[in-house]
Structures are given as C-alpha cells and as structure tokens.
Amino acid sequence: MEPKPQPEYSEELQPGSLTKIQYLDAAKRAAIELGWDITTEEEDILVCHTPSNTYSHGEFITIKAEGDFFTFQSKSASESTWLDQNPNEVNATLFKEALASVTGNNSDIQNKTRPRGKDILKVLIPSGEHLITPIIVYINIAVFIIMVLAGVSFIQPNTSDLLNWGGNFRPDTVTGGWWRLFTSMFLHAGIIHLLANMYALLYIGLLLEPLLGRFRYAAAYILAGICSGLMSIVVHTNVVAVGASGAIFGLYGVFLAMLTTNYIEKETRNAMLKSILLFVGYNLLYGMQGNIDNAAHIGGLISGLAIGYVYIHGVRREHDIKTQATITGIIAVCVVGLTVLTMNVVTGDLVIYQRDMKGFIANEKLAVKIYKMRTDLPREEMLHNIRDIGIYNWNENIKILNEIAKLDLPPKIKENDEILMQYCLLRISSYELLYKKISEQTDAYDDEIKQDNEKIIEMINGLKEKS
C-alpha cells in the first residue's frame, strides 16, 4: 500500500506596517513563545520545528519573505495520524495569535519610536522595558544630593570639589586615576547641568532601551561614557570634565546608527532621524560657546555610532544571550584597548609637569605654615620648624623646578617656572633671615625680611595676572 502523503498547509500573510526584518524578528519571538525550535534563521526566511508527540514527529514551519508579503507553510515531518484537526492548520492559527500578541504587547517597534511628553516622565518608574534608564537617573541624582549635603555648591560647584569627587582631569586620570573615566559620568556641575542631562537621558531611554534590551543598553551607556572621557583628556590638558552628557550622546549615537538601517520602519525612521539630528546638531553648536566639554560630546557620539552598528546584529537575535554577551564583550575589549592606548599617547611632558606641580603646591602649603607658628613656642622648636619644614620644603620645590626645566614645555610655562624659581629663592632668603632673627634674638634683620616679603608679594601678584 502506498504511504499517505505528508500533510501540509500554507497561506499568505501581510506584514502590515512592519518591515521585513521586523516581521521576521517578531515571527521568531512568536515561535519561541510557542515552544518551537528555530532551525534556520536567514535574511529572508525562518524555519522552525514543532515538538514531537504521540501522533507525529512534529511539523516544519517555514516563514519566507515573498516580495510585499510572507508565506507561512507548515508541513508534517512524517506521515501523521490526526484524530481531529489538521495540525498544520492549527499551527497557522497558533502562529498568527502569537504574532499578534508579540507585536501588540510591544506596541510595534515603530510605535516605540514615537515618544510623547507625558511618556518621558513615565520612564522614571522602573518597569520591564524601562529599568536601566531610571536606575541611571536615580544614581546621578543621588550622587548630586550627597555632594550637596557634603558642602558642594548646589548651583555652581568649584573645580577643586569636582576633582575631589572624581572629575576627569588628564594629569590625574593618566597617572593612576583611570577610574575617573567612570566616576565623572555621574557628576554634575550644578542643578541646571543635572536636570538638562537627565531630561535628555529620559528621552533617549524611552526610545532606545526597549530596542536594545537592558544588558546592551547599560553596556552602551558605560562604554560610550568611557570613550567620551578619553576624547576629553585627549583634547583638554587642564580641564576637569564632569557630566553624563558624553554617555548620553553615546546613546543618541547608537540610536542614530539604528535609524540608518532598515530595522525601524521607513516612515518612522525618517521622522525620528530628523528629530535626533536636530538635537545632536543643536547641542554640538551650543557646546561651542565655552565651558562645555564638546570633545566629550563628540567622543560619545562617535563611539555610540560604532557601538550601534555592531549591536544591530545582536538586536536582530535578541533571544540569543550568547550572541549578546559575545558582541558586548568584543566592544568592551576594544574600549579597554583604546583606553590603554590613549593613556600612553597623552602621558607626555605636559602631564608630567602638571603632576609635578601638584607636588610643588603641596610642599608650598607645608612651608608657609611657618607663618602660623605660635610665637610662644620654645626657641629651639621654632628654629627646627623654620629649618626642617620651611627651608627644607622650599629646597624640595627647587629640585622639582630643576627637573621640570628638562621637559619639553611651551615657552609661557618655562617663563613662569623661571619666576617660580626666583620666588623659591626669595622664600629661602626670607626664612634664613627669620632663622637668624630668632636664633640671635635681634631685630637687625627686620628690614631685609620686609624687603624680601614685598618682592614675594609682587611676584605672586604678577603670576596671578599671567594665569
């Protein structure tokens, strides 16, 4: 007796407003929800296999792009015995229901890219699709509150406070403070700076986090933020940079990369592309006014674009955790390599100079404490302080200036260092006269001490005018 033909069923399906890539992506999610095994996944076709049961070895499901529509085909893997309804027709019904559920629950990919003002504030409430964005916002706000409670200005923190809290400053960053590349992206120079950045983050988070998923989104924020910090220390030699804007520009870069592919529906893509380009262009132009780290913005944007183009392959396979981890790992390794390379490149003579000048300032602070010395101290203790703290530290600064003189530095810095050398020599002269005055218990040196101090004040004022 001839074997029964293997039953099959096929029909045409319309993708609606979804692109080919979006439809196949949604079809894959629907298949996974139904428990079907994915056996083939290519640009135009998805092949699945349903589980075996008592009556059959399962069915092969094929969803294939055919121009403006898709064909759905379910074919039994072997001769089957059905007691009731053709399982291939059942598969078609189940698939369409699951597909409707998948696209409905996610409001379609294109609907995710149509944010409204009230939706932006909703992102502040952690949810399934928007978890990382509010966490980042709350971390930034918490850090700012802690800084204010610790005494940092609410409106305009001074540079030293920002540096102490982890600001990105080339001399410190490249000489062991690499962690500043991370901490600086959670610091802000005042409440206005914080609010502006958090609004921009909420806006892009509403659009991007559902598309990337939590893991990729968080990684993109951190990695782009690090790259923005690297660009900042390459461009700026003496600027303390803070703020989340570099990392945020990175997220905009990721979204721009996705908008240049066909992953998002064409009509929505064109509208959003104009909006995002307008935002990026305006903020880059605004950053040219000064006091804004445009280098970090550009570094974040470029790195975000690169991350986005790499990520697009993983987004199309969002259920493949291994692929996600591999792609993110490759990006992370590249960022680490870029960090090491940048550190080596920017660690030049100017950085060494800035590092050594920190030592100069520390020695100076110790030396001038002599002027606050109690007058009722025993004479031997006073002489010890003048000789072993005051004069000693001024001599240490002369050693520092002699080492600095060997560096390849701009003429203006060399000129200032020559003045600093005269300043140190005057300080030593003044301290030696003070030592004699106390040792000999005489006022004979008062006029000379006064003359030295007048020259020192004049020299300090001259250096302030040049800086």
From the list 228, 232, 245, 303, the catalytic residue is 245
CA neighbours closer than 13 Å in the CB half-sphere of residue 58: 10
How far apart are alpha carbons 161 and 167 in whole angstroms?
Answer: 9
The DSSP call for residue 410 is -
Q: Work out the number of other CB atoms within 10 angstroms of the CB of residue 97.
A: 13
Q: Which of 114, 113, 105, 99 is nearest to 16 (CA)?
A: 99
How far apart are alpha carbons 157 and 190 in whole angstroms?
Answer: 6
Q: Which of 42, 149, 168, 33 is nearest to 102 (CA)?
A: 33
Phi, psi (deg, nearest 5) at residue 11: -160, 160
Angle between helices 214-235 and 245-259 (to 10 degrees): 120
Q: Which of 61, 52, 75, 76 is nearest to 24 (CA)?
A: 61
- Residue 69 β-bridge partners: 66
CA neighbours closer than 13 Å in the CB half-sphere of residue 263: 24
How many residues are listed for the chain in this entry? 467
From the list 130, 188, 193, 297, the catalytic residue is 297
Rounded (to 5) percent helix, strand, coil in the chain: 65, 10, 25
Phi, psi (deg, nearest 5) at residue 59: -130, 150
Q: Provide the sign of the torsion angle of the four alpha carbons 259, 265, 271, 272, taken in this order.
A: negative
Tokens of 281: 């262009």
Active-site residue 245, yes or no? yes
Tokens of 307: 């991350």
Q: Which of 213, 290, 283 is nearest to 252 (CA)?
A: 283
Tokens of 17: 């407003």
Residues forming the active site: 245, 297
